[in-house]
Amino acid sequence: MSVELTDPEDAKLLTLARAARARSRAREGAAVRDSDGRTYSATNVDLPTLQLSALEVAVAMAISGGVKGLEAGLVVTDGLALNDRDVSVVREFAGADVALYRATPDDTVPDMRTT
């Protein structure tokens, strides 16, 4: 059973994450929405000396922009589940009850977790 993104702002996260992933041909794309409604999209970084998930990069971008909190995040990945480290990073920065969605490359959203 998949999750339907009925909120247009959550659907926007899917569009942004998918576009970031496609643009750089990355393994993952992610987008987050801050507490002011601004969005940040990113892809994973996979270098010999630096490995970051797409969600970690998006959260770092939000933090660098002076954001005080997050409302939601979404990751487009081939992975079978949200990465526990990603959930922990969002929880550490933004606290409890932040919705995190996982989408597959075909735009299906199989699950959602909250921090």
The answer to whether the Cα torsion of 63, 29, 33, 99 is positive or negative is negative
Torsion (CA) 14, 26, 20, 95 in degrees, nearest 10? 60
Instruction: Give the CA count within 13 Å in the CB-facing half-sphere of 54.
Output: 33
Predicted confidence at residue 88, as pLDDT, reads 96
pTM score, two decimals? 0.93
Predicted confidence at residue 79, as pLDDT, reads 87
Query: Is it the case that residue 1 has pLDDT exceeding 90?
Result: no
Mean pLDDT computed over every residue of the chain: 95
Query: Is it the case that residue 30 has pLDDT exceeding 90?
Result: yes
| Domains and their CATH numbers in the chain | 8-114 (3.40.140.10)
Digit-coded pLDDT (tens) for 31-87: 999 999 999 999 999 999 999 999 999 999 999 999 999 999 999 999 888 999 999
With contact defined as beta carbons under 8 Å apart, do 75 and 85 qualify?
no
